[in-house]
Structure 1
Amino acid sequence: MTKQIENQRILIAGGSSGIGLATAQLLSGLGAIVTITGRDEKKLQKVKQENPKLNITKLDSSDPADLQVFFSSSGTFHHLIISVSGSKGAGSFPTLSLDELRAGFDQKFWSHLETIQAALPFVEKTGSVTLVTAASSSARLPGTSGLAAINGALEIMVPILAKDLQPLRINAVSPGVIDTAWWDFLNEADKADTFAHFSKQVCVGRVGQAEEVANAILSVVINNYVNGIVLSCHGGLG
């Protein structure tokens, strides 16, 4: 079934690290023609050196003008995957900075929507759009109300977008605690403690890997009868 993406043009916004990069590597390995975008030129160049088959473009997914220039000059894509993330919006609500939460919405929620709107004329109607959200949307964990708001806002739009944009398929993949650079704001000891804590709350007994989420993304991209869903990939986070 994966042969159907051979030679298909796939764009991964936010594909220079973590889940986005793991997905790019998986799809490229299956024969897709993959372009990744990101804002960090140095990081993109490192990715290109290590993954010469990937096409890379410096692009700010929160900048409508930048997006318009990119899509107008890039041709069409069969599939769009948006893995743009952000680091702002976490914290206990009584002390949560609402300015930080607004910045978190700018980083992720608005960047996703800006990218979808700009991309629509350039994505094949028989193709798909996949959003990468997060399990914070429904996990009800203390200190994540802001993250839940950002990711929940995206997820609640998915089935409606599927109707608005049909026959283009729109889905989301919602990862749990995944061992990626997103957690690098913690030192190694604190990260290990955090992962150990979450491992006790996950049915599989460990945190996830970016490659496992990439496989979940692949499944919704290649299945032409999956539409309007949010696919959880959190190992049974309770």
Structure 2
Amino acid sequence: MNTQVNNSKLQGKRVILLGASSGIGLATAKAAAAEGANVVIVSSNQQRIDEALTTLPGTAKGYAIDLSNEENIKTFFKGIGQFDHLVYTAGENLSLIYLNDLEMKKAHSFFNIRYWGAIAALKYGAPHINKGGSVSLMSGTANHRPGVGWLLGASICGAMDGLTRAMAVELAPIRVNTVSAGVIKTNLWNSIPETDREGMYQSLSDALLLKRVGEAEDVALAFIYFMKQSHGTGQILTVDGGTLLV
């Protein structure tokens, strides 16, 4: 008989993950569930939520919520009850956008989910976080080392880093941290044609110190660390395969 006891700090904790029907969010939900957490995943598409739930324990719950709508976020947190950790990884598909081709209305909308959605989640979610709990947000290395075409990507990453520090001060003693990722293989890059996408991955892999583009599971471990550690806040943890050093 297996009498092993799960002594994880996440055992029995309730984790809310917004933007978690696929990619990094879902990988984090799986990792948290493996540590004994009770996970709740949120995304905008019910079909993807249903598919994601088949890969999680039976105790997991899922909700289809439009995270670009403040009222939807407010209503969700009003009814979800108390929880321990909030993870926000929501975002639309990524693509390179050049200044000369920039459409201002579309540029404004780029911030709706990634930035304003995160702020709404903080505003309405923080009051329901239990003592000792945390918030973990998502950023990226484009803030520190943008390439051509990364105008909006670099801007949003810089905004998220600043938001992390400001909220760590304002929401204390709730811990607020951010995972800053390099290019990671997820479906957020699916707007780029497959041949071009694979070429991008290969080119980046050749240049990186670790000689591979990251996987969602690599980043998930950083989110698990932020939930389990108890004395770090306002921090940006970089998971980039050495992007900032080459």
Q: TM-score, normalised by structure 2?
A: 0.92
Q: Are residues 1:207 and 2:213 paired?
A: yes
Q: Are residues 1:110 and 2:116 paired?
A: yes
Structure 2 CA distance for partners of 1:82 and 1:156, relative to 1, 3 Å:
same
Q: Deviations over 1:115-155 (max 9, x none)?
A: 11110111124210000112222222111011111121111
Specify the alignment match of 1:34 in structure 2: 39
Q: Deviations over 1:74-120 (max 9, x none)?
A: 11110000011123673122222222211101121111111111101
SS of the counterpart of 1:172? strand
Give the drift of 1:2. 6.7
Q: Is the 8 A contact 2:68 2:117 kept in 1?
A: yes
Q: Distance in 1 between matches of 2:64 and 2:199?
A: 35
Q: Which of 216, 221, 234 is 1:228 aligned to? A: 234
Q: Is the 8 A contact 1:89 1:100 kept in 2?
A: no
Aligned residue identity for 2:23: G
Deviates more, 1:50-59 or 1:25-34: 50-59
Q: Is the 8 A contact 1:14 1:82 kept in 2?
A: yes
Q: Are residues 1:3 and 2:29 paired?
A: no
Q: Which of 18, 25, 40 is 2:30 aligned to? A: 25
- What is the percentage of aligned positions where both structures have the same residue? 27
Q: Deviations over 1:173-205 (max 9, x none)?
A: 011111110111122211110101111332111
Q: Is the 8 A contact 1:90 1:96 kept in 2?
A: no
Q: Are residues 1:74 and 2:74 paired?
A: no
Give the drift of 1:166. 0.6
Count of equivalent residues: 238
SS of the counterpart of 2:9? helix
SS of the counterpart of 2:209? coil
Aligned residue identity for 1:213: V
Q: Distance in 2 between matches of 1:184 and 1:89?
A: 9
Give the drift of 1:161. 1.3
Q: Are residues 1:139 and 2:148 paired?
A: no
Q: Distance in 1 between matches of 2:192 and 2:181?
A: 19
Aligned residue identity for 1:109: Y
Q: Is the 8 A contact 2:95 2:192 kept in 1?
A: no
Q: Distance in 2 between matches of 1:64 and 1:183?
A: 26
Structure 2 CA distance for partners of 1:46 and 1:220, relative to 1, 3 Å:
same
Q: Is the 8 A contact 2:33 2:56 kept in 1?
A: no
Q: Distance in 2 between matches of 1:161 and 1:47?
A: 30
Q: Are residues 1:49 and 2:22 paired?
A: no
Q: Which aligned runs of 4 or more in structure 1 are off by greater than 4 angstroms?
A: none
SS of the counterpart of 1:185? coil
Q: Are residues 1:97 and 2:65 paired?
A: no
Q: Which of 7, 14, 20 is 2:19 aligned to? A: 14
Q: Distance in 1 between matches of 2:73 and 2:189?
A: 28
The unaligned stretches of length 5 or more in structure 2 are: 1-5
SS of the counterpart of 1:139? coil
C-alpha RMSD of the superposition = 1.6
Specify the alignment match of 2:175 in structure 1: 169
